[in-house]
């Protein structure tokens, strides 16, 4: 049984989301206030949270942060505008994905399925102790070793950290700033081109065709994403 918590304060939209997801075989619960959503997520332990950004009680962004304190449950943010999506990702709330209103139920279901699948892959890839696996890459954090399709590749420290960050959150949309903070630290003042150069080097090692990357993808206008 896969449980989805729908946090949405527009009753008609909440109903149609619930109806569509239940039709797909998911078990759903609807909560309309942000503060109640945090408590409910803790007790009900959903497999995925669909979280509206604009909510009474507590804003969606704060709900996401609160949930993240105690749980790694995938969170899909629902935003009213594309410009909000930038902010959601930029805030590094720990959301796994977002969808912009208005969306079709087909689009929503596809997104939910994809996020659940990634969460499952992530659970599997973390089983191997110090080894992270994503697509063709095996990264061993203890041995400081990287294998691509079974072949050992060289691993300068920053490339290694960058690859590790990407592998730990498959499918996560990273802003350039978010990745730089993660790998170089918050106090890094160089320009984002340094990151782009490292991405290019990693692609040369990982991708079959570095000019048409299948794994280390560019998300236009936002940043990067690693698809296993
Ligand atoms: Ca709302």
CA 218 to centroid of ligand 1, rounded, Å? 30
CB-CB contact of 50 with 76 (8 Å): yes
Taking the centre of ligand 1 as the mean of its atom positions, its distance from the CA of residue 53, in whole angstroms, is 6
Tell me, yes or no, whether 96 and 17 share the same domain. yes
Q: Are residues 53 and 138 in the same domain?
A: no
Q: Tell me the CA–centroid distance for residue 29 and ligand 1, in Å.
A: 16
What distance in angstroms lies between residue 115's CA and the mean position of ligand 1's atoms?
A: 22
- Measured in angstroms, how far is the CA atom of residue 34 from the centroid of ligand 1? 10
Q: What percent of the chain has pLDDT over 70?
A: 92
Q: Which one has a higher pLDDT value, 190 or 206?
A: 206
Alpha carbon of residue 65 to chain centroid: 14
pLDDT at 90: 47
C-alpha triplet 40, 43, 46: angle, nearest 5°: 75
Residues 17 and 63 in one domain: yes
- Range picked from 68-77, 148-157, 187-196, 211-220 for highest mean pLDDT: 211-220
Highest mean pLDDT among 69-73, 124-128, 130-134, 194-198: 194-198
Q: How far is the CA of 78 from the centre of ligand 1 (A)?
A: 9
Segment of 11-15, 95-99, 141-145, 153-157 carrying the highest mean pLDDT:
11-15
101 and 76 share a domain? yes
Domain boundary among 125, 153, 174: 125
The yes-or-no verdict on residue 150 having pLDDT over 90 is no
- Tell me the mean pLDDT in the region 152-162: 92
Which position has the higher pLDDT, 70 or 197? 197
> Which residues are in the CB-under-5-Å shell of ion ligand 1?
9, 52, 54
Which of these three, 125, 145, 177, is where a domain ends? 125
Q: Do 85 and 173 fall into the same domain? A: no
Dihedral sign from CA coordinates of 11, 13, 14, 20: positive
Return the CATH number at 138.
1.10.10.10
38 pLDDT higher than 90: yes
- Structural domain count, the chain: 2
Residue 149 has pLDDT above 90, yes or no: no
Does 82 score more than 90 pLDDT? Answer: no
33 and 68 in a common domain: yes
Q: What is the mean pLDDT of residues 42-62?
A: 91
Same-domain pairing of 37 and 121: yes
What are the C-alpha distances in Å from 191 to residues 31, 161, 177, 180, 204? 43, 18, 10, 9, 22
At which of 125, 152, 182 does a domain end? 125
Is the same domain home to 148 and 104? no
Are 7 and 54 found together in one domain?
A: yes
State mean pLDDT over 174-178: 86
Domain that holds residue 152: 131-226
């Amino acid at each position: 049984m896969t449980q989805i918590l729908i946090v949405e304060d527009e009753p008609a939209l909440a109903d149609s989301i619930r109806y569509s997801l239940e039709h797909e075989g998911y078990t759903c619960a609807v909560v309309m206030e942000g503060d109640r959503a945090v408590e409910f997520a803790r007790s009900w332990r959903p497999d995925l949270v669909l979280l509206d950004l604009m909510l009474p009680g507590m804003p969606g962004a704060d709900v996401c942060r609160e949930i993240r304190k105690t749980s790694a449950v995938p969170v899909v943010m629902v935003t009213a505008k594309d410009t909000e999506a930038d902010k959601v990702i930029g805030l590094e709330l720990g959301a796994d994905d977002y969808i912009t209103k208005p969306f079709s139920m087909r689009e929503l279901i596809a997104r939910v399925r994809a996020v659940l699948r990634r969460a499952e892959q992530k659970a599997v890839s973390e089983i191997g102790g110090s080894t992270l696996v994503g697509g063709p890459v095996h990264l061993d954090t203890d041995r400081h070793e990287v294998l691509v399709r079974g072949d050992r590749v060289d691993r300068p420290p920053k490339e290694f950290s960058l690859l590790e960050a990407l592998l730990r959150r498959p499918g996560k949309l990273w802003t350039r700033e978010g990745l730089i903070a993660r790998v170089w630290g918050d106090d890094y003042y160089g320009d984002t081109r340094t990151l782009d150069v490292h991405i290019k080097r990693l692609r040369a090692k990982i991708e079959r065709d570095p000019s048409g990357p299948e794994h280390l993808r560019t998300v236009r206008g936002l940043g990067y994403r690693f698809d296993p």
